[in-house]
Structure 1
């Protein structure tokens, strides 16, 4: 009779499981597209050598810049916060691994029970002598000590897939840290080159102040000789004052840029060591782009998105497994007695062993919602992965084009600066001989100053493009 009941229970469970498995919500998963173009530009040479493989200490030769990056990798607060997030993700793996191992606990308890004489239990306790010839203690104490164990048998790999998902999210967090390092290195390098450019602009302004002051003195002499009017003196004086005010604007930008670097390296404001005198002679590194498909391995943000996508796929399996029966085993082993001194006796030994099989049958809305959500997040993760690939490709293509165009622009601006520098001397000579008016001198000085500013700005953009293409290719985190 008892066997028939067991068989009927198992049959009912199997039927419920079959019904459950056959009635999963209909959802659509999405396979990610990893295809990339063969090259970054039409007609480009296909070469698998990539600058991304170069370590940042080799890519950035400036010792002062290297020192700043080294300090930032140790002290930057945001990076250290991310490192703690990695520890959190690592702990999640530990937690998920523990779920598919048996849970064993050691426990002890003591209680006192006074049963009513007008109940079956009370009557039995009153009439039954535990020790012959002695009246049972009332109230009756109960002492127990032993081990308890619970174990969910991972038949559908729900728990193991949850652990694998946690592992992928941990790996994603590591790649997230690598991507942060890449951006941190690039941001410090860009700020450093901006600081060098500002130093050179300040030096240029100081030189022009001297030139304009000398021109102002010449105009004053000519006014005394009645060759020019007071208007010319005032215009030259206004130009000197304008350039002097520009000097303080640049000084403020230098302070702000220094403090931006100080923030990135995790320290309070102080002077940033730098080699400003070498800025004009800096030449951007030669960049080898490799092929677009290498971005999938080199870019930490793409690898992070890939791990998150794999985790999302496993989450679907975990959510799907919740529809199936859950098999659990529980056991207990210990001692129980009404007297503490009897606990060590063999007669006080107790043990239990039980198994249970249960499947959700009615009101599965929460499980369905979790399953649909997991599928939606997988589709979302696939689109995110594709977006990262597309964004990386466009970033590299833009920076490669920028490097080429800036190189041509710098050559032309250098020629412009040479021409305008010569025109300053020419305009001054013509002005002294009364063959040019003072407005021509003023315009020539202003144009020359602007062209030199533009040349320094273009040089900074060249260095920034060198930094940004290195970041776009996936370099900087090694």
Structure 2
């Protein structure tokens, strides 16, 4: 008994000495050289605005669609289930360091006892005993495993936020695309009605011998062209409504809109803050960062597998060869023993596992760096778009006023017989093209603000990450 006590005391002394030991590398955040400012930033404000989507998209209909998508989108639901799966895996990892208790019940007949000792003669054997097993985490294998599980859980949370951010921007982009297509449909419809009226007038003049057949043909061509554009945008509106319905997790249905494309209020310039703020805001960057943390902890797990493991097992229960007297006092037996086991020669498999784990970390660091660089480039590109689209819109608005005036004058000159109908057609086509182009530019500038919202990592719902 004294020997057993000494062994147990030595084991616990070893545990105290080695309990703080964790083999493998500790996490060192990768260093990414960030620029001092964005290349195309046009203001001196160094603070990032609160880019929550309900403040950026001041449209109650759009906000309703965004909330519907957050509640019902299947991809977002899948991402949420992955969080739950990761949370449960984290719960498992927390229990690996704790002892396990199992129940042993055996009944048999032979010359070998349940504890594998030889008995002199054939005999009945009955065992009923609980058993406690505990593998001591000397090298920090289970603590590294917990680090990996915590990082995986955190990574999954940020993955969910990245999916949500992408979903919100997709809904907004599709909604503004529908507004653009509806606006272009109205332009095409108005143009069709105008050209239909012109065709009737010219056809009547031809019938009375006042104009040439060429004018009739040209008028008919332009009338039908406007009609085909009208039908085209009907189709595009329907396609976009189906896409938005699917994003909201609903069966395809008509999308109601209350405002027009030109009713959007957008700021002249946008403060975007320092590029380094992205590292703390963008969920895709944070997701890649915690992927490095997870894989770095896995290196520690792989390293720990190269060292011996120490386990303690305690068994106490009833052992008897007579079932009728199974619960007699002399049937109570117990044992406590330790097991030290470790690899000796396995053809370098454990070493290669460590090398594989380190290689995964290197790849994850490169992925992280790529995400950071692309995010800065994405915002620079979006800021450039916002400013240049603004300038294009201003020039196109002036062009539209001139084109409208030219079209009105050409119709008056044609009615007076001063010019041919070809001049009217040319000015009318220019006016139609400029109207369509202005609608497109408005949509693209609005979507640039949506892209900026996404690029700065704004709008995702803050969630508590418990570790």
What is the DSSP-based 3-state SS (H/G/I as helix, E as strand, rest coil) of the residue aligned with 1:288? coil
TM-score by length of 2: 0.89
Given that residues 161 and 460 in structure 2 are in contact (C-alpha distance below 8 angstroms), is that contact kept between their aligned partners in structure 1?
yes
Deviation (angstroms), 1:364: 4.5
How many residues of Structure 1 are paired with residues of Structure 2 in the alignment?
438
Give CA-to-partner distance per residue, 1:84-123, whole Å, 9 cap, x none.
11122112212222222112101212112379xxxx978x
Cα distance in 1, alignment partners of residues 320 and 248 from structure 2: 67
Query: Partners in 2 of 1:445 and 1:46 — Cα distance?
Result: 44
**Aligned residue in 1 for 2:18:** none
Q: Give deviations 1:362-398, integer Å, cap 9, x for gaps.
A: 1242211210110000101111111111011011111
8 Å CA contact 1:32–1:383 kept in 2: the answer is: no
Question: Unmatched 5+ residue regions in structure 2?
Answer: 11-22, 462-467
Instruction: Indicate which of 64, 86, 89 corresponds to 1:92.
Output: 89
Q: Tell me which moved more, 75-84 or 213-222.
A: 213-222
Partner of 1:64: 61
Please list, as runs of the form range in 1=range in 2, the aligned pairs for 1:14-53 lying within 5 A after superposition.
32-41=30-39, 45-51=43-49, 53=50
1:279 is displaced (CA, Å) by 1.8
Q: 1:74 aligns with which of 71, 75, 90?
A: 71
Moved more, 390-399 or 362-371: 362-371
SS class of match (1:290): coil
Structure 1 residue 343: deviation in Å? Answer: 2.8
Aligned partners of 2:40 and 2:384 also within 8 Å: no
Instruction: Report if the CA contact (8 A) 1:213-1:240 is conserved.
Output: yes
- Counterparts of 1:276-295 in structure 2 under 5 Å? 276=259, 278-285=260-267, 287-295=270-278
TM, length-normalised to structure 1: 0.87
Q: Is the CA contact 1:215–1:236 (under 8 Å) kept in the aligned structure 2? A: yes
State the distance in 2 between where 1:294 and 1:34 align: 13
For 2:109, which of 90, 108, 112 is the aligned residue?
112
Task: Tell me the SS of whatever aligns to 1:39.
Answer: coil
RMSD: 2.5
CA contact (8 A) 1:325 1:357 kept: yes
1:147 and 1:332 in contact (8 A); partners too: yes
Partners of 1:463 and 1:121 lie apart in 2 by 84
Where do 5+ consecutive residues of structure 1 fail to align? Answer: 11-23, 126-138
- Please state how far the C-alpha of 1:458 moved relative to its aligned partner: 0.3
Displaced runs of 4 or more, over 6 A: none
**Rg larger in structure:** 1
Partner of 1:438: 421
Alignment correspondent of 2:188 = 205
Aligned 8 A contact 2:41 2:380 in 1: no
